Structure 1
Amino acid sequence: MELAMIGLGRMGANMAERLLRGGHQVHGFDPGAPAREQAASRGILIAPTLEATIAALPSPRVVWMMVPADVVDSTLDSLLPLLAPGDTVIDGGNSNYKLSQRRGERLAQAGLHYVDCGTSGGVWGLAEGYSLMIGGEAAAVEVLTPIFQTLAPAADRGWGRVGPGGAGHFTKMIHNGIEYGMMQAFAEGFAIMQRKQEFGMDLQQVADIWRDGSVVRSWLLDLTADALRKNPGMAGIAPYVEDSGEGRWTVAEAIDLNVSAPVITMSLLERLRSREDDSFADKLLAAMRNEFGGHKIKQG
């Protein structure tokens, strides 16, 4: 198939290259000239403007957006005048599913198809393939099957239509919430072992042991073992953990649906806590203990 990839950051460019390797013809555009130049060096067909990129596509056109969530609407604003009824826009970024539903309705009014595709695979996707959670009209998704089969780890696994518009990004949101909990559990477990200094444990060795036969074996554990191999003491890494927003959306959805999700919620709160270099709450806790029990306050 022939399509355009809009957004040529690391993941977008990698996806475009995987599609090229699979025999698809990929046009690409990014507002940044360095990203366009790098993509061109990888064989992606680059035009100097978004208008020229879309004009080069045969009808009905397929446009895959791989842009940050906060510029999806502005990108759509630029795309819509260039598209015609029957064209399809795929949003492969981490958009909020409620916004994806609204965008689907907006494009449907213009006779366009909107497919929301939750995408997981990160920097390894080029070699290993991507997990694709797809929402949208069944007929529109079916037409795009060759693209999804190429991007996935295999033609028959790692991808699928999970429901109507919005379902793809909803599923990716829950996926990321689960990921938060898994990462937190691994981090806490290894922290306990690291603190047990009398055993002098080699944490990378433990991770490698668990990678085979253990109930907790996983790709995430593989990556953890690799991180410990490269930097056993985590030297030079600040204890500050970002969040992409999807963990927050998952917790909010759990509250809306009256679903208890304490592990995901606490893993999100721990990420927020990691950013407190000077915690007022902890200082107040120490003061309270002193007030009611006379416990010593550590001077800072």
Structure 2
Amino acid sequence: MENKSDFGLIGLAVMGQNLVLNVESRGFQVSVYNRTGSVTDEFVSAHPDKKLVGTQSLEEFVQSLARPRKVMIMVKAGGPVDAVIESLIPLLEEGDIIIDGGNSLYTDTERRDAWLEKEGLRFIGAGVSGGEEGARKGPSIMPGGPESTWDVMKPIFESISAKVDGEACVTHIGPGGAGHYVKMIHNGIEYGDMQLICEAYSIFKAAGFTAEELAAVFTEWNNGDLESYLIQITAEIFKQNDPETGAPIVDVILDTAGQKGTGRWTIMNAVENAVVISTINAAVEARILSSMKEKRVDASTQLEGPKVELSVEKAALVDKVRDALYASKIISYAQGLDLIATTGEQKGWNLDLAAIAAIWRGGCIIRARFLNRITDAYRNNAELSNLMLDPFFKDVLNKNQQNWREVVALAVSNGIPVPAFSASLGYYDSYRNERLSANLLQAQRDFFGAHTYERTDKPRGEFFHTDWPEVID
């Protein structure tokens, strides 16, 4: 084949197809391969005017690519990625690049990076956010791997990514698994964002808001500080009616949520690194509880709760819930970024939180107006210990905290579950308290296990033990 392709992609599901069309639209010729050959033929024939090269074998696919070959894998995370890599290794040559664009666990990415380095090949674990639309029009991309490999991929990645204020929503995150790690935490923050919006919806529903009223509320919010992709699509959801019943579509959707694993991975990583991400944790647990539909239906006939009496005037309730949502949203991002910073420091990745926030401003699912503020916060102070302490966000939290409390109290007193709102407020109050009740906890630990404790009247780092009285059962 005389005219070699600039880029190759394996895995022609919807995300893969849209990424191919995006790359091709930027002036690159793209080779494609899918395990089911008919999918390849149908995709290429559906776009006769595009610079696409369909291949029916991995050998043909590899030979169609210009060197250094750039091969992006878009298949299901886990074993399928390893299987494709295994098949590619004998066909590639030294210096060729494999890119995993799926939602792989970052430790798998680190393992594959070491594996391929021994084979003389280069590897990039690239988180890609934005869904089908983002893949086609411009996603946020989070690539990890060697700096030299990023330099080779930079022209393609920058051309296909979303743009905000002239800046491409892609940057070299760091070595090894850093890219997939940041994408994992991005997804955890996304879980928190979505759950917080759902809890606002629960409160409004309990207050008797119609779908039309809800659409108006979220449309208004999307014109203010809460402007984001998730708020925007939520407004659109409330506008849609079910063609079969005529009811709002949201009312006929079963209340059981799915998840693909990145939220759980985020929680497990936070526990390993001793970082609090209570908002994200509450969001993941809410999805798990939602899946227990039959058990919840049974429990609803046996366990009592209060009579719902929301006497707040609707306009006032909208303002209070908006403030609670904004404050809780700040907490979700603060926790996610704290986890990124902590792991990055432990791994020696030298992560740039300002650059990470900047590439989330466009293309990705959590894109939002206030990511500009987060970007500015870390550009102004790269050593910021917690996003809550940035002057802008500190002022928002101080201003919103009273309405935030009233919303949580209102929900709890009416039996409306708001686990993410509550967890966010609990984190805020714990973080801002000079003295917590852990002194009693430490006394308990010393009592039953002689774990010792520090004293308020002695220098930090000195430990003491009390000879506690014997307790007889």
Q: In the alignment, which of 217, 224, 231 is matched to residue 227 of structure 2? A: 217
Name the counterpart of 1:173: 184
**Contact 1:18/1:150 (CA < 8 Å) preserved in 2?**
no
Q: Following TM superposition, by how much is the alpha carbon of 1:285 offset from its aligned partner in structure 2, in angstroms?
A: 11
**Residue 34 (structure 2) pairs with residue 52 (structure 1):** no
The amino acid of 2:114's aligned partner reads: E
**Contact 2:211/2:238 (CA < 8 Å) preserved in 1?**
no
**Contact 1:116/1:165 (CA < 8 Å) preserved in 2?**
yes
**Residue 110 (structure 2) pairs with residue 101 (structure 1):** yes
Q: Following TM superposition, by how much is the alpha carbon of 1:229 offset from its aligned partner in structure 2, in angstroms?
A: 1.4
Secondary structure of 1:146's aligned partner: helix
The amino acid of 1:237's aligned partner reads: I
Q: Following TM superposition, by how much is the alpha carbon of 1:148 offset from its aligned partner in structure 2, in angstroms?
A: 0.4
Name the counterpart of 1:293: none
Name the counterpart of 2:256: 240
Q: In the alignment, which of 127, 131, 141 is matched to residue 140 of structure 2? A: 131
The amino acid of 2:35's aligned partner reads: P
Name the counterpart of 2:13: 9
CA offset digits 1:212-255 (Å, max 9, x no partner): 12x22211111111111124351432212111110011000000
Cα separation, 1, equivalents of 2:211 and 2:167: 45
Identity of aligned residues (%): 33
Name the counterpart of 1:294: none
* 1:16/1:200 CA distance change after superposition, 3 Å: closer
Q: Following TM superposition, by how much is the alpha carbon of 1:60 offset from its aligned partner in structure 2, in angstroms?
A: 1.5
Q: How many residues get paired?
A: 288
The amino acid of 1:240's aligned partner reads: T
Q: Following TM superposition, by how much is the alpha carbon of 1:127 offset from its aligned partner in structure 2, in angstroms?
A: 4.9
* 1:210/1:85 CA distance change after superposition, 3 Å: same
Q: Following TM superposition, by how much is the alpha carbon of 1:286 offset from its aligned partner in structure 2, in angstroms?
A: 4.7
**Contact 1:194/1:201 (CA < 8 Å) preserved in 2?**
no
Cα separation, 1, equivalents of 2:291 and 2:172: 37
Cα separation, 2, equivalents of 1:223 and 1:91: 28
Write the mapping of 1:1-300 to structure 2, written as runs, cut at 5 A: 2-40=6-44, 41-42=46-47, 43=50, 44-70=52-78, 71-154=80-163, 156-197=167-208, 202-213=213-224, 215-231=225-241, 232-279=248-295, 283=299, 286=302
**Contact 2:7/2:65 (CA < 8 Å) preserved in 1?**
yes
TM-score under structure 2 length normalisation = 0.58
Name the counterpart of 2:385: none
Gaps of 5+ in 2: 242-247, 306-473
CA offset digits 1:85-108 (Å, max 9, x no partner): 110001110000000000000000
Secondary structure of 1:163's aligned partner: coil
Secondary structure of 2:258's aligned partner: coil
* 1:226/1:38 CA distance change after superposition, 3 Å: farther
Q: Following TM superposition, by how much is the alpha carbon of 1:284 offset from its aligned partner in structure 2, in angstroms?
A: 11
Cα separation, 1, equivalents of 2:171 and 2:296: 47
* 1:153/1:284 CA distance change after superposition, 3 Å: closer
CA offset digits 1:53-80 (Å, max 9, x no partner): 1111122211011111031011111111
Cα separation, 2, equivalents of 1:237 and 1:48: 40
* 1:75/1:266 CA distance change after superposition, 3 Å: same
Q: Following TM superposition, by how much is the alpha carbon of 1:156 offset from its aligned partner in structure 2, in angstroms?
A: 3.0
CA offset digits 1:143-194 (Å, max 9, x no partner): 1111101220137321001110100000000000000000000011012112
Displacement over 4 Å in runs of 4+: 198-201, 280-289
Q: Which has the larger radius of gyration?
A: 2
* 1:126/1:246 CA distance change after superposition, 3 Å: closer
Name the counterpart of 2:451: none
**Contact 2:21/2:136 (CA < 8 Å) preserved in 1?**
no
**Contact 1:193/1:201 (CA < 8 Å) preserved in 2?**
no
